[in-house]
A = this chain, B = another copy of it.
Amino acid sequence: MKLRTDLPVIFDSFGEARQAGFLAVKELKEQGQPVIGAYCTFLPEELAIAGGAIQISLCSTSDETIPAAEEDLPRNLCPLIKSSYGFGKTDKCPYFYFSDLVVGETTCDGKKKMYEYMAQFKPTYVMQVPNSRDTEASFALWRDEIIRYKEKLEETLQTTITDEQVHDAIVFKNKERQARKDFYGLGKLNPPAITGTDIFKVMYGANYTFDKEKLIDTLNETTARIQQEYEEGKRLDPRPRILITGCPIGGVTEKVIRAVEDNGGIVVAFENCTVAKAVEQLVDEEKEVYDALTEKYINIGCACVSNNNTRVELLDQMIDDYQADGVLDMVLQACHPFAIESKRIKEFCQNEKEVPYMYLETDYSTSDVEQINTRVTAFLEMIGV
């Protein structure tokens, strides 16, 4: 288990993966590789894998396409939705361009309705996520949606997806999940072994590493190397340990990570869709494949589901495991589900976990960077440590 390159070089290479992937996906397409474009972690990647396709996260993290989106969508809508739509509309996202099928979900009102318009210029398929996970009928609905999506994939990819292939994909994807968990789990080390900036860079870049076998190896080797160096005494200075929760982060919104780490704190954990939220729970390899996928994906702790106890349970565990000194709840402007749920998260952190909580609402501009720095600095000072 030997990495040829130094850790900073590996981190940077993950940091550049999204850009580098543009060329890679073009080459893959030229070799006849089908591509499924995805926006959300509710989409069971196992099915694309089983069908021989690769699933890629589509562009949604820059404000450059928001003006184009606002020609069709309300301005008072979350920047992630406007950005996603704008990238599709202006065809500025190579991943979108190369996607044979774009798959969305009815997670929130904004996405649910936005896809109606996206379908006018791109083959778009929408999965219906139930609003609750508390009844057998919710489970049945989501299971039906997963099977319907499998059938849509079979039609799009002109193939048949067998249960055995799905099972193989479950086992493989679990291996990837475990490698991710082991890597971002390094954040549990105290004093810290790695910054949140680097954890994030690797986890975000992993989404754009299409050779998944190689990804798993690189992640495992990197994790082992960091652990080894840590045991040899290479540690970062102790600083207030922040757990970030809330909406997905990426691109412009990495300003929130920087605000913590440039001002004396360290981000040790991310309870969000970019890192732990959809990865933490593996798919049960013993169960019937569609039952197993239904169970795994319906339990992703997104604020779009009511009640969202699974988020609180994961937070509960992570605050302890990562020894978080503070929780920063990052919410994108006009994201009603996460904005409303923040009251519950705040009360849970402050009353049940007795850990300081900060609510931070932001968008895809950089105009609030100084304001965020000021607020985060005050939060870190309040935490002290």
Interface residues of A (CB under 8 A from B): 72-74, 76-77, 106, 108-110, 112-117, 126, 128-132, 135-138, 140-141, 144-145, 148, 303-304, 306-307, 333-334, 336-337, 339-341, 343-344
Contact, CB under 8 Å: A132 / B106 = yes
Closest 8 CB pairs of A and B: A137-B144, A113-B340, A106-B131, A109-B336, A74-B339, A141-B141, A137-B141, A128-B132
CB distance from A193 to the nearest CB of B (A): 37
Contacts of A334 in B (CB 8 A): 76, 334, 336
Contact, CB under 8 Å: A110 / B144 = no
Contacts of A337 in B (CB 8 A): 109, 112-113
Contact, CB under 8 Å: B141 / A109 = no
Contact, CB under 8 Å: A137 / B138 = no
Asked whether A137 and B135 contact (CB < 8 A) given A109-B304, A337-B113, the answer is no
Contact, CB under 8 Å: A76 / B333 = yes
CB distance from A132 to the nearest CB of B (A): 5
CB distance from A362 to the nearest CB of B (A): 13
Contacts of A333 in B (CB 8 A): 76
* The one of B131, B140, B343 that contacts A128, using a Cβ cutoff of 8 Å: B131
CB distance from A315 to the nearest CB of B (A): 16
State A120–B108 Cα separation when bound (angstroms).
Answer: 24
CB distance from A330 to the nearest CB of B (A): 14
Contact, CB under 8 Å: A113 / B77 = no
Contact, CB under 8 Å: B131 / A129 = yes
Contact, CB under 8 Å: A144 / B148 = no
State A3–B109 Cα separation when bound (angstroms).
Answer: 47
Asked whether A137 and B145 contact (CB < 8 A) given A109-B108, A117-B343, A306-B106, the answer is yes
Name the CB-closest residue of B to A136. B144
CB distance from A259 to the nearest CB of B (A): 21
State A337–B336 Cα separation when bound (angstroms).
Answer: 12
Contacts of A74 in B (CB 8 A): 336, 339-340
18 example contacts (A-B, Cβ-Cβ < 8 A) are as follows: A73-B340, A74-B339, A76-B76, A76-B333, A76-B339, A77-B340, A106-B132, A108-B109, A113-B303, A113-B336, A116-B340, A116-B341, A128-B130, A128-B135, A131-B131, A135-B148, A137-B144, A336-B336
Contact, CB under 8 Å: B344 / A116 = yes
Contact, CB under 8 Å: A138 / B132 = no
Contacts of A106 in B (CB 8 A): 131-132, 306
Contacts of A116 in B (CB 8 A): 306-307, 340-341, 344
State A112–B77 Cα separation when bound (angstroms).
Answer: 18
Contact, CB under 8 Å: A140 / B140 = yes
